[in-house]
Amino acid sequence: MSTLLVKNIELLATFDDERREIKDGAIYVRDNVIEAVGSSSDIGAMPADATLDLSGHVVMPGMVNIHHHMYQTLTRVMVQDDELLVWLKTLYPIWAKLDDDAMRISASVAMAELIYSGCTTTSDHLYILPNNSTLDSSIDSARAIGMRFHAARGAMSRGESQGGLPPDSCVEKEDAILKDSERLIQRYHDNSRHAMNRIVLAPCSPFSVTPNLMREAAALARRHAGVHLHSHLAEELFEEKYCYEIYGMRPVEFAESVGWLGPDVWFAHSIFMTSDEIKRFAATGTGVAHCPSANMRCGQGIAKIREMLDCGVKVGLGVDGSASNDTSNLFMEARLALMLQRVAPHHYLSEKPGGRGGFGGTPKALSAREAFSMATRGGAAILGRDDIGYLAPGMSADFIAVRLNQIGLSGTQRDPLAALLMCGPFRVDYSFINGKEIIRKGEFTAFDVEAAMADHAGVMKRIYADA
């Protein structure tokens, strides 16, 4: 048993049920669990094996990233000026060349980037597994770097010859997908509190899998406690057209028809939803991963996040893939989520049957604290976690600290918490995950970033050799 006292915190933003923001705050940690949160005058004298003075820092819960495609760190800044459909068709053949080593190295780079930007828990939607690639390699990367990881076993099973979008070279057989999913659950899934690894089942999208795979994946997940379901939905208008032509229904209606609404399900993007569909998400507890950077990058649209929150939909943040965002920075994602909702009322069209939908009420802006709440508590709730997302006794010791004495934060004394979002993005100066110090004074304590980047460059050279 070891103990850690973090004290003299300039501002401790707990995001607990009372949303306490404590000046001269302190946190007391025993092993990997928070034992006390309060002011330095109240708990700052508690005996501890180690003490960390965070004078001049803002501390908040580690952020939760609920949508990513980490392998895409290998295909950044490609297809810069085209819509999603062209983007996908261009990149599918390149992704088909990836192998297990590429998956491992790309995940390491993505996770390092996320940790630098305040993320302590992430999901990764790995839906393309060519050349004997496995999700195991991404899990190994998470363990090596110390990231809390929800590994999503994605899949594509409906290739072009079967009426799907991806080329046949990128798809798998459905029985093999389900067999591997069961293997991963048995080997890695941990549903206990403070678990560092859980498995998610994640068929890719309505245009790349069959209804049968969606139903079978849902049934498999629900046979195991804590295995959640994830996919893309209502991301693009071509998806809406596809669902009408193939299934005779809108994407949300299709998801419900295959058993994919519920508190154990969350979807990425969910841009093109009507007000009635948003209410259906709220009623069923279905979650949404808001990915503002990627949505803007591909010119897709603005998700109706204000309306979703007002209706009670669970919303978290996702950086999305590093080829549709080109970075993996949760501070930036929270900032853009805030800014994008402030222009959203001028973007939404009037609601029409089969159309994009209206704003759904009196428009009001998103606040900085709401954006950070999505990045912390919102993502945790969607992942089914009751042990991360805020700082309180009994919670996992996942927290980050940013030093205030830097040029980009000069003049922010009136509200240093909001400044982390509005003046950034910033890199963290300290990151603790499961009670372990991962970042100290802005640098990794154990992970070799330079070596990871060199390995990453080597993989890219190999993958692109015949491009």
Phi, psi of 129 (to 5 degrees): -130, 70
The reply to whether 55 and 113 lie within a common domain is: no
Phi, psi of 5 (to 5 degrees): -110, 120
Phi, psi of 121 (to 5 degrees): -130, 135
State residue 352's pLDDT score: 41
* pLDDT beyond 50 at 190: yes
The reply to whether 426 and 360 lie within a common domain is: no
The reply to whether 299 and 325 lie within a common domain is: yes
The CATH number of residue 92's host domain is 3.20.20.140
The reply to whether 348 and 308 lie within a common domain is: yes
The reply to whether 24 and 152 lie within a common domain is: no
Q: How confident is the model at residue 1 (pLDDT cuts 50, 70, 90)?
A: confident
pLDDT above 90 covers what percent of the chain?
Answer: 79
State residue 467's pLDDT score: 58
In 3D space, the residue among 254, 242, 364 whose CA is nearest the CA of residue 309 turns out to be 364
Query: Is residue 221 domain-resident?
Result: yes
Q: How confident is the model at residue 343 (pLDDT cuts 50, 70, 90)?
A: confident
- In angstroms, the Cα distances linking 118 to 153, 170, 363, 383 are 24, 33, 30, 18
In 3D space, the residue among 61, 63, 54 whose CA is nearest the CA of residue 26 turns out to be 54
Query: Per residue in 198-211, pLDDT tens?
Result: 999 999 999 999 99
The CATH number of residue 434's host domain is 2.30.40.10
Query: Is residue 462 domain-resident?
Result: no
The reply to whether 362 and 423 lie within a common domain is: no
Query: Per residue in 38-95, pLDDT tens?
Result: 999 999 999 999 999 999 999 999 999 999 999 999 888 787 877 777 877 888 888 8
Query: Is residue 466 domain-resident?
Result: no
114: Cα within 13 Å, side-chain hemisphere? 37
Query: Is residue 27 domain-resident?
Result: yes
Cα–Cα distance measured from residue 381 to residue 69, given in angstroms and rounded to the nearest whole number: 21
Q: How confident is the model at residue 466 (pLDDT cuts 50, 70, 90)?
A: low
Q: If you average pLDDT over every residue of the chain, what do you get?
A: 92
Query: Is residue 279 domain-resident?
Result: yes
Strand partners for 220: none
Question: For 107-136, what is the mean pLDDT?
Answer: 96
Contact predicate 358/351, CB 8 Å: yes
State residue 357's pLDDT score: 40
Question: For 216-228, what is the mean pLDDT?
Answer: 98
The reply to whether 29 and 71 lie within a common domain is: no
User: Which residues are within 8 A (CB) of 455 and not within 5 positions of it... i.e. 6 or more apart?
Assistant: 105, 108
Mean pLDDT is lowest, of 173-182, 333-342, 359-368, 404-413, for 359-368
* Site of tokens 């997302």: 389
State residue 353's pLDDT score: 40
* pLDDT beyond 70 at 330: yes
- In angstroms, the Cα distances linking 329 to 112, 122, 320, 410 are 10, 12, 10, 21
pLDDT above 70 covers what percent of the chain?
Answer: 95
The reply to whether 333 and 307 lie within a common domain is: yes
The reply to whether 240 and 286 lie within a common domain is: yes
Range(s) of the domain holding residue 21: 3-62+390-444
Question: What pTM did the predictor assign?
Answer: 0.94
Q: Which residue has the higher pLDDT, 247 or 325?
A: 247
- Identify the burial level of 261 via C-beta atoms within 10 angstroms of its C-beta, where 0-12 means exposed, 13-18 middle and 19 or more buried: buried
State residue 82's pLDDT score: 72
Query: Is residue 457 domain-resident?
Result: no
> Running DSSP on this structure, what letter comes out for residue 267?
E
The reply to whether 164 and 217 lie within a common domain is: yes
The reply to whether 42 and 132 lie within a common domain is: no
Query: Per residue in 384-432, pLDDT tens?
Result: 999 999 999 999 999 999 999 999 999 999 999 999 999 989 999 999 9
Domain end call among 337, 360, 382? 382
* Site of tokens 């009001």: 364
In 3D space, the residue among 8, 112, 38, 10 whose CA is nearest the CA of residue 70 turns out to be 112
Contact predicate 438/431, CB 8 Å: yes
The reply to whether 206 and 253 lie within a common domain is: yes
Cβ atoms within 10 Å, residue 414: 7
State residue 463's pLDDT score: 84
Determine the Cα angle at 33 with ends 400 and 183, to 5°.
Answer: 95
Query: Per residue in 276-309, pLDDT tens?
Result: 999 999 999 999 999 999 898 878 889 999 999 9
- Identify the burial level of 311 via C-beta atoms within 10 angstroms of its C-beta, where 0-12 means exposed, 13-18 middle and 19 or more buried: middle
Query: Is residue 46 domain-resident?
Result: yes
Query: Is residue 131 domain-resident?
Result: yes
* pLDDT beyond 50 at 360: no
In 3D space, the residue among 404, 390, 423, 333 whose CA is nearest the CA of residue 58 turns out to be 404
How many domains are contained in the chain?
2
Strand partners for 187: none
Rounded-to-10 torsion of CA 177, 180, 182, 188: -130
